[in-house]
């Protein structure tokens, strides 16, 4: 009998679909066309500047959620200091972009120049964040659950406080202190000449980064690597027993997540119409917490969930803020001056979260996806009856007639 009729059948049916390479190239071109188109059509599509800003911020948050999902969702670790990685990326990108912009000598933010500035900023931000991801990932080998969470939180807070509390005025001595002073302390970093970080990241870069992040996250999840992580999450000893090195996979998940967060930070720092200053207050625990909310709300481990969670959380927070503009709400506040609308916002937000967690404790998506590739059908239809003694005869010719149990009874 031919070695595997089943496999051959499946392969032929797959070959009937259009050339996968061609399809891949077409999809890539279509996506590229879409993001380039967005760069120029964004102003027309979304005329309101505030809304533009919100959309771009939502996309940055999607990248943050996707990257945190690698640690908290796929690897089953628990990091509550993701804002630290975003912040490191933001500061790195701001410094790199600011200096390149200055060296270019063109004051205007040109789309063409963004192809020089942004790749450098992204690489630097991702790289530096990756190094920190490695360092923070190392304790994950020995620490679990709450203890690891404390390490990540500690890291993020140390990063933020070191910058926020640095002495900026007067004489500062020593290279480290001078560098910290250069970062601007609590007031933040606003480029080498303190006139703002150049805002090169328009819709092209931010949409582009989001698309790339989604593709990478998706591929990671359904690769052997993603499967190894999910297995590790379920049973570490069994996973090591099949040959997966837990150390390597845990640390790598931290490095990948930190890189993603660093790139999101680069986008945040350079975001068009965004805040031209990178400030330590952007990266408090509240932001880490928002990132966790995005992941858990969407569904831990789900790429679709991270996307929906990122958009949902960004817009919910903003929408509740918008409530304050309604006349009825303002009238309410006039009637009860003690009512703190800002505090009320958090109450509403928290209620939404509690409600969702009661209704869907596993998040909107659980671990599922919107579009799930059909699993390969190759072997699922097993031969209805086992082929008798195929292996036995082949491997053990002189034992041909012996029944399986015969061996033990001999």
Partner 1 sequence: MKTAHPTRKAPTAETGKPLLVVENLAVSYGGIKALKGVSLEVRRGEIVAMIGANGAGKTTTLKTIVRLLPIAAGKVVYDGKDLAAVPAEEIVGVGISLVPEGRAIFPNLTVRENLEIGAWNHRNRSTMDETLEDVVRLFPRLGERMKQEGGTLSGGEQQMLAIGRALMARPSMLLLDEPSLGIAPRLVADIFEAIARVAQAGTTILLVEQNTRLALKYSMRAYVLRTGEIAMTGDSKALAANEEVRAAYLGG
Residue numbers of the site for partner 1 (CB under 8 A)?
A: 1, 3-4, 6-7, 224, 227-228, 230-231, 234-235, 237-246, 367, 375, 378-387, 390-392, 394-399, 404-405, 407-409
Tell the smallest beta-carbon distance from residue 239 to partner 1 (Å): 7
Q: Kindly tell me which of 194 and 390 has the beta carbon lying closer to partner 1.
A: 390
**Tokens encoding 109:** 């933010």
Q: Kindly tell me which of 120 and 231 has the beta carbon lying closer to partner 1.
A: 231
Tell the smallest beta-carbon distance from residue 395 to partner 1 (Å): 5
Tell the smallest beta-carbon distance from residue 34 to partner 1 (Å): 32
Q: Kindly tell me which of 325 and 374 has the beta carbon lying closer to partner 1.
A: 374
Q: Kindly tell me which of 4 and 13 has the beta carbon lying closer to partner 1.
A: 4
Buried b (16+ CB within 10 A) or exposed e, 46-57: beeeeebbbbbb
Tell the residue number behind the tokens 């869907």, with chain if given.
360
Q: Kindly tell me which of 131 and 231 has the beta carbon lying closer to partner 1.
A: 231
Give dist(CA 34, CA 38) in Å, integer: 6
Tell the smallest beta-carbon distance from residue 303 to partner 1 (Å): 17
Residue 326 DSSP SS3: coil
Q: Tell me which residue of 283, 256, 263, 258 sits closest to 87, measured CA to CA.
A: 283
Extract long-range pairs of 33-37: CB within 8 Å, 24+ residues apart: 34/207, 35/203, 35/204, 35/207, 35/208, 35/211, 36/204
Q: What angle do CA 108, 192, 115 make, to 5 degrees?
A: 45
Q: Kindly tell me which of 105 and 397 has the beta carbon lying closer to partner 1.
A: 397
C-alpha dist (Å) from residue 380 to 1, 291, 358? 19, 39, 37
Q: Kindly tell me which of 33 and 403 has the beta carbon lying closer to partner 1.
A: 403
- The partner residues of 189 in beta bridges, in order of sequence, read 278
Tell the smallest beta-carbon distance from residue 91 to partner 1 (Å): 37
Tell the smallest beta-carbon distance from residue 121 to partner 1 (Å): 36
Asked if 286 and 156 touch (Cβ cutoff 8 Å), the reply is: no
Tell the smallest beta-carbon distance from residue 397 to partner 1 (Å): 8
Strands (E), 104-257: none
Q: Kindly tell me which of 89 and 305 has the beta carbon lying closer to partner 1.
A: 305
Q: What angle do CA 377, 383, 388 make, to 5 degrees?
A: 150
For residue 212, with 0-12 CB atoms within 10 Å meaning exposed, 13-18 middle and 19 or more buried, which class applies?
A: middle
Give dist(CA 86, CA 284) in Å, integer: 11
Tell the smallest beta-carbon distance from residue 391 to partner 1 (Å): 4
Q: Kindly tell me which of 334 and 395 has the beta carbon lying closer to partner 1.
A: 395
Start-to-end CA span in the chain (Å): 32
Total number of residues shown for the chain: 410
Tell the smallest beta-carbon distance from residue 387 to partner 1 (Å): 6
């Amino acid at each position: 009998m031919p070695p595997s009729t089943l496999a051959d059948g499946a392969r032929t049916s797959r070959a009937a679909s259009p050339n996968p390479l061609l399809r891949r190239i077409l999809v890539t071109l279509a996506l590229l066309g879409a993001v380039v188109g967005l760069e120029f059509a964004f102003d027309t599509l979304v005329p309101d500047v505030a809304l533009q800003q919100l959309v771009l911020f939502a996309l940055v948050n999607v990248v943050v959620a996707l990257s945190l999902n690698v640690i908290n969702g796929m690897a089953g670790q628990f990091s509550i200091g993701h804002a630290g990685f975003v912040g490191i990326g933001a500061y790195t990108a701001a410094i790199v972009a600011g200096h390149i912009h200055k060296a270019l000598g063109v004051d205007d933010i040109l789309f063409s120049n963004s192809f020089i500035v942004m790749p450098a900023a992204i690489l630097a931000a991702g790289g530096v964040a990756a190094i920190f991801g490695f360092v923070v990932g190392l304790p994950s080998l020995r620490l679990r659950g709450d203890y690891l969470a404390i390490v990540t939180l500690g890291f993020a807070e140390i990063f933020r406080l070191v910058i926020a509390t640095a002495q900026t005025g007067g004489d500062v001595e020593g290279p480290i202190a001078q560098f910290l002073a250069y970062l601007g302390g609590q007031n933040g970093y606003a480029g080498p000449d303190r006139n703002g970080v150049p805002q090169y990241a328009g819709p092209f870069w931010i949409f582009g980064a989001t698309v790339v992040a989604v593709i990478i996250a998706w591929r990671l999840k359904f690769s052997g690597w993603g499967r190894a992580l999910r297995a590790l999450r379920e049973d570490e000893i069994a996973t090591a027993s099949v040959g997966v090195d837990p150390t390597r996979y845990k640390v790598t998940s931290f490095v990948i997540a930190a890189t993603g967060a660093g790139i999101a930070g680069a986008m945040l720092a350079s975001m068009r119409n965004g805040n031209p200053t990178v400030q330590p207050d952007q990266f408090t625990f509240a932001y880490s917490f928002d990132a966790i909310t995005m992941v858990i709300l969407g569904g831990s481990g789900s790429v679709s969930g991270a996307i929906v969670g990122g958009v949902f959380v960004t817009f919910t927070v903003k929408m509740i803020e918008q409530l304050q503009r309604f006349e009825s709400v303002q009238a309410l506040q006039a009637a009860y001056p003690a009512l703190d609308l800002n505090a009320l916002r958090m109450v509403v937000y928290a209620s939404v979260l509690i409600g969702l967690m009661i209704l869907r404790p596993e998040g909107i998506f659980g671990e599922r996806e919107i579009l799930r590739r059909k699993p390969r059908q190759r072997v699922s239809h097993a031969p209805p009856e086992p082929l008798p003694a195929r292996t036995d005869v082949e491997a053990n010719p002189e034992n041909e007639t012996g029944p399986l149990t015969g061996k033990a009874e001999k």
